[in-house]
Amino acid sequence: MTAVQLHKDGAHKDGALSGKAKIAGVMGWPISHSRSPRLHGFWLWQYGIDGAYVPLAVAPERAEQAIRALPALGFRGCNVTVPLKEIAFRTVDRLDEAARRMGAVNTIVVAEDGALEGGNTDGFGFLENLRAEQPEWTAESGPATVVGAGGAARAVVVALLDAGTPEVRLVNRTRARAEELAADLAAVGLDGGVSVVDWLSRETALDGAALLVNTTTQGMTGQPALDLPLSALPVSAVVNDIVYVPLETPLLAEARARGNPVAGGVGMLLHQARPGFKAWFGVEPQVTAELTRFVLEG
């Protein structure tokens, strides 16, 4: 590892933190796979900030205690990843609107009064990545088809509806999970614009769509490709896969080959980190090609 790599991995430029260092981190179980320390470490190095961003391996049964301890430990806040997002949702003192609608917290900020403020930036990251990769796309362009019914799908659907997408077609292998997600969204005021499409009829959900989003792990390295023929999808529709290992999934390769504009998934990871970094370290960070390469190398 070179000196530059070491700095970007989280060390302060002069090799040491001061007593006034700003501290944040990422909490999850397990946490060794997370690329967030590498991502935030790059920004800390780039902007010369006296601070650190550390991985916090916290088992679910200790998560509430650990979250509550953040102010006492001097943390500015932290990110929260699986399987602790719902626990964080129940633990923080205040929720922003995005977190309330998504039922999960991925970003915690310790307020000046010591209160824990919970937010969810997954939807922000999704939209920012989509707009950066395909600036011609707008939420009002037409219906969106979303494959999957987990936490990522919830974030994507909420973001699309809030941005003005007129219709979201939700497709999942297990219809009951998609119906449960639709019902949860209705319970928080998003009771219009979501329709559940049976898996056996999934091709019909592509007819006339302006956007297709895969929120499942299908197509990830080691997983089978997403079983979704694209013949009914307009060639003008944007195809987005939130999977980023590999960078070009089978879905994206097929879409690109038939002429659809595509957007990969790594940008969602990078953009969702921006609001937390600004809140903790006081700088609005930028997503660059150098950052992307560095994060993917780790």
SS (H, E, C) 75-133: EEEEEECCCCHHHHHHHCCEECHHHHHHCCCCEEEECCCCCEEEECCHHHHHHHHHHHH
pLDDT of res. 9: 55
pLDDT digits (tens, 9 = 90+) for 237-278: 999 999 998 999 999 999 999 999 999 999 999 999 999 999
Domain of 59? 22-121+268-297
pLDDT of res. 10: 47
The answer to the question of whether 215 is labelled as a binding residue is no
Indicate the number of domains in the chain.
2
The answer to the question of whether 172 is labelled as a binding residue is yes
Q: Indicate whether 13 belongs to any domain.
A: no
Say what the pTM is.
0.92
Indicate whether 144 and 255 sit together in one domain.
Answer: yes
Q: What is the CATH number of the domain that holds 274?
A: 3.40.50.10860
The answer to the question of whether 107 is labelled as a binding residue is no
Contacts of 168 by beta carbon, 8 Å cutoff, 6+ apart: 143, 144, 145, 146, 157, 160, 161, 193, 194, 195
The answer to the question of whether 91 is labelled as a binding residue is no
What does pLDDT average to over the chain? 93
pLDDT of res. 17: 84
List the structure tokens of 107: 């970003």
Alpha-carbon gap, residue 289 to 298, rounded angstroms? 15
Indicate whether 254 and 185 sit together in one domain.
Answer: yes
| pLDDT under 70: residue ranges of the chain | 1-16
Q: Indicate whether 180 belongs to any domain.
A: yes
Whether omega for the bond prior to residue 246 falls within 30 degrees of 0, making it cis, is yes
Indicate whether 212 and 284 sit together in one domain.
Answer: no
Indicate whether 168 and 227 sit together in one domain.
Answer: yes
pLDDT of res. 232: 98
The catalytic position among 13, 22, 85, 278 is 85
Contacts of 185 by beta carbon, 8 Å cutoff, 6+ apart: 101, 154, 157, 158, 161, 191, 194
pLDDT of res. 8: 53
Indicate whether 194 and 282 sit together in one domain.
Answer: no
- Please confirm, yes or no, whether 85 is among the known catalytic residues: yes
Indicate whether 172 and 251 sit together in one domain.
Answer: yes
Indicate whether 60 and 99 sit together in one domain.
Answer: yes
The answer to the question of whether 272 is labelled as a binding residue is yes
Indicate whether 167 and 252 sit together in one domain.
Answer: yes
pLDDT of res. 15: 53
